[in-house]
A and B are shown apart, each in its own frame.
Chain A
Amino acid sequence: MLLNQFLLLAAALFCIGVYGVLTRRNGVLVLMSVELILNAVNINLVAFGAFHDNVLGDVFAVFVIAVAAAEVGVGLAMVLLMYRNRKSIDFTEVDMMKG
């Protein structure tokens, strides 16, 4: 199989994730789009690992999965805190630090 088919698919998923981060209001959906971006990166890592016949891609993909799990935990806790304080998880309303 061509290396490029995996890389282009990952690039497309990455861009879809960027679109989701930019356009969604719901905080949980923004976190989901971030997960999409991280998964696109993981596809790249594993594809390059297979391309170079090397396990380092797999090892780093496992590390990225662990870091993504930690990120979702903290991110959702922050979204819950925001909901409790403001009764809304609309990210466009979070502009307290806007100058």
Chain B
Amino acid sequence: MTLALTLAQLGEPLTRGEFDVPENIAFAIIAGVMLFCALKMVTTANVVHAALYLVIVLAGVAALFILLGSDFVGATQILVYIGAIIVLFLFGIMLTKARLGDDETVKSEQRTMGAAVAMLLLVVMGFALIDGFRNDEIQFGAPDRIEYVPTEVDAADLPTPVREALDIGEDEGLVTISEARVRALDIELQRRVPGAELFGNNKEIADSIFSQYIVPFEAVSVLLLAALIGAIVVARKE
């Protein structure tokens, strides 16, 4: 006799990662805007306009990070890229007096070759991705898991066949069922525990960076210091 029963499963939809309409609409809008602005960025003649198109693409990337549940990386993206790197680019454009509105910034003779290389790359990567990850769904948050019910349960929660098998009355209140007895009767008492929520992996990121990846973290700080000193040394006047 095997009674596979699940407690506390009423109402809770069991499958996550079904077709999420709002998220897919948001993704479509973000992706369309990003692709359009990226194409404008690499084709526009005006350098300042290219920097502003890059801002939109970077903001779209940050929106995708937040859509994927990585709010910390999205915030870092906005702070570092839009807050710092774009300003650096605009300073670079101003300091080098790039000719504004100049068509010659695009190498026309290499345009067809570049487009061919990019299209070839896109076709190869697209084929590999579609072939490799055909219908893999991203499950947001941790999946639901099955665990055994605690040994102490409310008798009213138990279904009638289990109560009869265990010889328990319906109004006995809290009853203690030893796991050994459950196993001896070959009864599977299961409960579905909802998984973790979507947002909230900041704690895990912090744990990971400051314990397992502390050496790369320190290496990155040394790298930033070296880049700072190197940029000063390269760009200063003699």
- A residues near B (Cβ < 8 Å) are 1-9, 11-20, 22-29, 31-33, 35-36, 39, 42-43, 46-47, 49-51, 53, 55-59, 61-63, 65-74, 76-81, 83-84, 89, 92
Closest CB of chain A to B16's CB: distance in Å? 11
Chain A-chain B contacts (Cβ-Cβ < 8 Å), number: 247
Would B136 and A13 count as touching, CB distance under 8 A? no
**Structural contact, B235 and A81, CB atoms closer than 8 A:** yes
Chain B residues, CB < 8 A from A11: 122, 125-126, 129
Q: How far is the CA of A7 from the CA of B64 in the complex (A)?
A: 12
User: Which residues of chain A are near B231, meaning CB under 8 Å?
Assistant: 73-74, 76-77
Main SS of chain B's interface residues?
A: helix
Q: How far is the CA of A18 from the CA of B119 in the complex (A)?
A: 10
A36 and B54 contacting across the interface, CB-CB below 8 Å? yes
Please give, as numbers and ranges, the residues of chain A lying within 8 Å of B104 by CB-CB distance: 25
Q: Are A47 and B68 in contact (CB under 8 A)?
A: yes
- Shortest distance from the beta carbon of A10 to any chain B beta carbon, whole Å: 9
Shortest Cβ distance from residue A81 to the other chain B in the assembled complex, whole angstroms: 5
Cβ–Cβ < 8 Å partners of A13 in chain B: 34-35, 38, 57
Q: Which residues of B contact A57 (CB under 8 A)?
A: 70
Does B216 sit within 8 A of A, measured CB to CB? yes
Q: Which residue of A lies closest to B85 (CB)?
A: A72
- CB 8 Å contact bits of B43-81 with A (1 = contact, 0 = none): 000010011001001100100110011101100110011
